[in-house]
Amino acid sequence: MNRRERMRSFFTVPVLLSVAFLLAVLLVSVFAEQLAPHDPDTLDPASVLAAPSAEHPLGTDPSGRDLLSRLIFGARSTMLSAFLVVLISAAAGIPLGMLAGYRRGILDKVLMRLCDAVLSFPSLLLAFVLVAAFGRGIGNVVLSLGILYVPMLAKLTRSLVLVESGKLYVEAAHATGFGGAHILLREILPNIFSTLLIQLMLDVGYAILDLSAMNFIGLGVQPPTADWGAMLQSARIHVKNAPLVALSPGILIVLTVVAFNILGDGISAYLDPAQRKLPSIKRFKKALLRRDPDADPGSKVLPRTRKAGEEAAHE
């Protein structure tokens, strides 16, 4: 299978939709100023919970702010903080996991028991504790969640490194005379990178969920900043009379998380040939029959080619 065919098998409909959606969200959050029709924070007491109109395409929220503009700026806040959470966890978790997995010994034992300790609590509960210690605010929420994501990532990295360390190429590098740093960074890392990348992708999704939860409770972004989680909170009492206001941030959160998950699965299927979809047996058979009859020794009997279990009468 050549590169083009591989790409084609990667871009299935769900993956294409997810990529398109995520790109849109990303672009929107980058160009929020240019795209938003209104300032997201301007209050308009005259039109509270207004229905969609030319002026306000999605209507207004309980404080009379333009809903579309708030969703657009909310995308920026949500995506940025989610990426930051993952970045913090990766910056700490991957190196720690690699060291623990490669060095083993006492360092490994201490680190892993620490991770177990953190993982034995419900993560949101620990996040509350950390935010309580650091103080409210989106910066502290991002930091707390970032720290809480470290153990899982460290454990994953460690187990991947453990598997790779047992492989022959690592021993070969050792026998050749390479040192630990070279082996870890230039031999092992390239082999575990793709799996880590997929995990980070999934983590972005989880981070969006957790951040929304924290913002929903009011620990994260403070009013009037637009954020999907916070918007969900402020509009939830109006879910009956203004469903769009209450539901739209929720729907966006769900869609983004699902899109990140589909993309992660897609990438792992692309990287692992065993998971790749092959053309159906019928198409395969047709392709075989088209094959050059002079080329292969046995192909003159090819018209008899059949799938096992078919009646001989079909020939």
8 binds other proteins, rule: CB under 8 A: no
> Should residue 312 be labelled a site residue for other proteins when binding is judged by CB under 8 A?
yes
In the complex with other proteins, which residue's Cβ is closer, 243 or 303? 303
Q: Which is nearer to other proteins, 10 or 83 (CB)?
A: 10
Residue nearer to other proteins on the CB measure, 135 or 177: 177
Quick check: helix, strand or coil at residue 271? helix
Contact with other proteins (CB under 8 A) among 20, 27, 110, 172: 172
> 312 exposed, middle or buried (CB, 10 Å; 0-12, 13-18, 19+)?
exposed
Angle of helix 67-103 relative to helix 228-235, nearest 10 degrees? 130
Regarding 279 and contact with other proteins (CB under 8 A), the answer is yes
Which tokens sit at 290?
């088209």
201: closest CA among 245, 154, 261, 249?
261
- Closest residue by Cα to residue 10 from 195, 263, 296, 219: 263
Residue 174 in contact with other proteins, rule: CB under 8 A: yes
Number of residues that bind other proteins (CB under 8 A): 47
- Separation between Cα atoms, residue 137 and residue 215, nearest integer Å: 9
Answer yes or no whether residue 290 interacts with other proteins by CB under 8 A.
Answer: no
Asked if 135 touches other proteins (CB under 8 A), the answer is no
* Residue 173 interacts with other proteins (CB under 8 A): yes or no: yes
- Residue from 167, 243, 251, 254 touching other proteins (CB under 8 A): that is 167
Which of 2/241 has CB closer to other proteins? Answer: 2
Q: Are 248 and 192 in contact (CB under 8 A)?
A: no
Residue 83, amino acid? F
Q: Which CB, 53 or 305, lies closer to other proteins?
A: 305
Q: Which residue number, 54 or 301, has a Cβ lying nearer to other proteins?
A: 301
Distances (CA, A) of 218 to 45, 128, 138, 212, 293: 23, 11, 10, 10, 72
d(CA 78, CA 226): 9
By CB under 8 A, the residues from 251 to 270 that bind other proteins are none
60 φ, ψ to 5°?
-125, 165
Residue selected from 120, 175, 241, 290 as contacting other proteins according to rule CB under 8 A: 175
The single residue among 45, 168, 240, 290 that binds other proteins, judged by CB under 8 A, is 168
The reply to whether 176 sits near other proteins by the rule CB under 8 A is yes
Residue type, position 195, single letter: T
Of 121 and 169, CB closest to other proteins: 169
Task: Provide the b/e sequence for 264-281 (b: ≥16 CB within 10 Å).
Answer: bbbbbbbbeeeeeeeeee
Task: Rule CB under 8 A: say whether 293 interacts with other proteins.
Answer: no
273 binds other proteins (CB under 8 A): yes
Report the residue from 187, 203, 210, 265 that binds other proteins according to the rule CB under 8 A.
187
How far apart are alpha carbons 163 and 255 in whole angstroms? 35
- For position 311 contacting other proteins by CB under 8 A, the verdict is yes
Q: Can you give the length of the chain in residues?
A: 315
Per CB under 8 A, residues contacting other proteins are 1, 167-169, 171-180, 182, 186-187, 190-191, 273-274, 276, 278-279, 281, 284-285, 287-288, 291-292, 294-298, 301-302, 304-312
